Amino acid sequence: MTDWPEVALGDHVELVPGFPFKSARYIDSAVSAVRLLRGDNVAQGILRWDGAKHWPEAECDNYSAFELREGDVVLAMDRPWIEAGLKYAWVQPSDLPCLLVQRVARMRGTNGLSTAFLRYVIGSPSFVNHVKSITTGVNVPHISGKDIKRFRFSLPPRSDQDRIASILGAYDDLIEVNRRRIALLEEMARQLFEEWFVHFRFPGHERSAMEGGRPEGWQQLTLSELADVRLGKMLDAAKNRGELRPYLANINVRWGSFALSELRSMRFEPDEAEKYGLAYGDIVMCEGGEPGRCAMWKGEAPQMMLQKALHRIRSKSNMDRNYLFHYLLFSARSKRLSGLFTGSTIKHLPLEKLLNLRVEVPSSRLLKQFGKLVTPIEAQVGTLQAVNRKLLEMREILLPRLVSGELPVPAAARELEAAA
């Protein structure tokens, strides 16, 4: 045990809630605008900016008190904890500039508490348990700044804070570097697809004639001819029996990637694994919410299942999975799929319409060339994702032991050196 004094968070933190920016004046465009950090943008340890809202840049000087800085710790005050974990993060350079919106708390360390160490105090199991105990409200569970400040924790000397933050920060830095490498690799694959199959600048295009708006020798086939497509399972906790397994919902599917920090679990029968489970290379597409949004599964977690609001698209042997994925992703982003949607207010992408989607299919020779270039990229992405999962597991083991003083800093430093 340590002899670190126990203190109240409120005596060592500067906590500022966000400003009530009028949603009617939100803008979607990032041109001449600054991103607004809302509760929806806060995930488990990271900020996510897909679907971000913006505020006119010309008016930002009026809200300087709500400008965020690198290293600031932010915590959602509405629904602060979900099954996936605590909705908190710290601001990184790539997140800036941005302005803080109401019902999100911004925290900076004061009076002997470093902000770098604060982020691990907030991420500790003790603080999570505190949040659970102070959360009130049924329709919208929430916490207050006053209740946040009541949390008590052991405050190490500043030198120990810096060393602990350095060790845990090294894990975070490695994870972030890998995330950026993954993003670059995925961008390489996307650009190659568009260069070859959207702009038709594929190898040998100079000698290829055009027929009906497509290069000679290309076909147009339905998705049902190229892939097996099915919807996920309708989940009913009262009826479900069997083994508890994680499943993907709409919220877990991003544009080209998955947010696995917000997974939930449900019971599935053993014979449902093939019907609703994911295999490496399966494409997952949203049926509702934001229909068409999709990503390709690279085995990020074992025994993953699908909820009904998602389509599982499994390429047949005559179709390269990487080509089909990028074709569907580009079609969704470019609004080519919008003609398949139903519903006036809430849009959906019905299975029968998706099955009849016409897909441009290049020659088998060109598909093989594309696969030969993109498959190694896909493999690198999978490897980096696996490394990040391992780093995150190690970080989650070390964090509570370091913050509580249970694990001496030298021992943690040795574990980090071994992991690196």
Contact between 131 and 143 (Cβ < 8 Å): yes
Distance CA 64, CA 250 (A): 35
Q: Which residue has the tokens 């120990």?
A: 160
pLDDT at position 154 over 60: yes
Q: Is the dihedral of CA 273, 274, 277, 278 positive or negative?
A: positive
Max distance between CA atoms of the chain, in angstroms, equals: 79
pLDDT value at position 48? 87
Write down the pLDDT at residue 237. 59
pLDDT in the model for residue 413: 61
Distances 393 to 69, 181, 398 between C-alpha atoms, Å: 28, 20, 9
pLDDT at residue number 148: 96
Q: With 60 as the cut, is the pLDDT of residue 132 above it?
A: yes
d(CA 177, CA 106): 25
Please give the mean pLDDT across all residues of the chain: 90
pLDDT, position 411: 61
pLDDT for residue 39: 93
How many residues are present in the chain?
Answer: 420
pLDDT at residue 71 in the model:
96
| pLDDT at residue 417 is higher than 70 | no
Separate counts of helices (H) and strands (E) for the chain: 10, 22
Digit-coded pLDDT (tens) for 360-370: 999 999 999 99
What digits encode the pLDDT tens for the residues 57-85? 988 889 999 999 999 999 999 999 886 78
Question: Domain 156-207+365-420 is in which class?
Answer: mainly alpha
Output the pLDDT for position 414.
63
**CB under 8 Å to 293, separation ≥6 — which residues?**
253, 254, 255, 285, 286, 332
Which CATH number describes the domain made up of 219-361?
Answer: 3.90.220.20
Residues whose CB is less than 8 angstroms from the CB of residue 212 and which lie 6 or more positions away in sequence, other chains included: none
Predicted local confidence at residue 226, as pLDDT: 97
Q: pLDDT value at position 217?
A: 87
**Tokens of residue 65, six digits:** 């008190």
Per-residue model confidence as pLDDT tens digits over 11-37: 999 999 999 999 988 987 777 899 999
Q: What's the confidence (pLDDT) of residue 416?
A: 59
Q: Which band of pLDDT confidence, cut at 50, 70 and 90, is reported for residue 386?
A: confident
pLDDT at 409: 73
Going by C-alpha positions, the residue among 396, 377, 252 that lies closest to residue 321 is 377
Q: What is the pLDDT of residue 44?
A: 85
CB atoms within 10 A of CB 318: 12
Tell me what percent of the residues of the chain surpass a pLDDT of 90: 64
Q: Give per-residue pLDDT as tens, 237-269.
A: 556 677 788 889 888 888 888 877 667 888 888
What is residue 408's predicted lDDT score, i.e. its pLDDT?
76
pLDDT tens for each residue of 208-238: 888 878 898 899 999 999 999 999 888 765 5
Average pLDDT of the residues in 111-139: 94
pLDDT value of position 290? 87
Question: CB–CB of 7/155 below 8 Å?
Answer: yes
Crossing angle between the packed helical segments 158-197 and 364-404, to the nearest 10 degrees: 170
Helix (H/G/I), strand (E/B), else coil: 124: coil
Predicted local confidence at residue 56, as pLDDT: 92
For residues 420 and 416, give the distance between their C-alpha atoms in angstroms, rounded to a whole number.
6
339-348 CB contacts, 8 Å cutoff, 24+ apart: 340/291, 341/291, 346/288, 347/288, 347/290, 347/291, 348/287, 348/288, 348/291
pLDDT at 272: 83
Q: Break the chain into its structural domains and give their ranges.
A: 1-119, 156-207+365-420, 219-361
pLDDT exceeds cutoff 70 at 162: yes
The percentage of the chain sitting over the pLDDT mark of 70, rounded to a whole number, equals 95
CATH number of 1-119: 3.90.220.20
pLDDT digits (tens, 9 = 90+) for 319-368: 999 999 999 999 999 989 999 999 888 899 999 999 999 999 999 999 99
Are 156-207+365-420 and 219-361 equal in CATH topology?
no
If we measure between CA atoms, which residue out of 126, 127, 129, 131 comes closest to residue 143? 131
